[in-house]
Structure 1
Amino acid sequence: MTGPVGPSRVRRFAMAVAWSSFLSAGVLEALVFAVVDPTELRWFGATPIELTAQAIYTLSFLIFWAVIALGASLSLLLVSLPDDVRPSRHAPGWPR
């Protein structure tokens, strides 16, 4: 008798990356906008950005979330090796 099958490995990794990057993006946005006023932002120092403060907060959060998720995904990809490439802890042919 087997119980219900849980989420696959890929889904667990995706959930871990999405949730941790979501929390990190929230903290980063709070830190950035504690120092930066969104109404005074300019495109490379020239033209002011003509968006509402809420739109700037939303876009910056989504950008922070995407960049942090990409970094976390790449880290997770580099850390987890495929099953067939993992080094064996036992001598070849063990057990017989």
Structure 2
Amino acid sequence: MWTQRLMWIAWPAFLMAGVLEVLVFAFVDPHDLHWFGQPVALSRQGVYTVAFFVFWAVTMVSSGLTTLLAMSPFELNRCPVPEGDRPDDCRKPSGCV
């Protein structure tokens, strides 16, 4: 279940990171970039690589928050421990099956 959700998050984020990479670097030359007033000390390929992983991380966070918000309250609040082994603070509310 969690592996499937991870793929729901990672794969679209990977695709969008690629799209962002193309869009950003169609207009920006990596050698023109500055960090705190200093030129970036990476090669063009290094800037492309770092930017791709930053774009991927940001879009994964976005997709992850969307997936989290799409979960039902039952999915978020259920206790993964079997009924007899649950601690007192992990009891099912009354009326739940």
Normalising TM by the smaller chain, what interval?
A: 0.7 to 0.9
Quickly say closer, same or farther: Cα 1:32–1:84, change in 2 above 3 A.
Answer: closer
The alignment yields a C-alpha RMSD, in angstroms, of 1.7
Structure 2 counterpart of 1:24: 16
Structure 2 counterpart of 1:11: 3
Instruction: Give the SS at the match of 1:83.
Output: helix
Q: Share of identical aligned residues, percent? A: 45
Q: How many residues align?
A: 77
Structure 1 counterpart of 2:60: 69
Structure 2 counterpart of 1:89: none
Write out the 4+ residue segments of structure 1 that deviate beyond 3 Å after TM superposition: 82-85
Q: Kindly indicate which of the two structures has a greater share of residues assigned to helix.
A: 2
Q: Deviations over 1:30-77 (max 9, x none)?
A: 000000000110014x11111100000000000000010011001110
**Aligned counterparts of 1:84 and 1:31: Cα–Cα separation in 2:** 37
Instruction: Give the SS at the match of 2:52.
Output: helix
Quickly say closer, same or farther: Cα 1:23–1:84, change in 2 above 3 A.
Answer: closer
Quickly say closer, same or farther: Cα 1:54–1:68, change in 2 above 3 A.
Answer: same
Q: Which runs of 5+ in 2 are unaligned?
A: 77-94
Structure 2 counterpart of 1:47: 38
Q: Which runs of 5+ in 1 are unaligned?
A: 1-8, 86-92
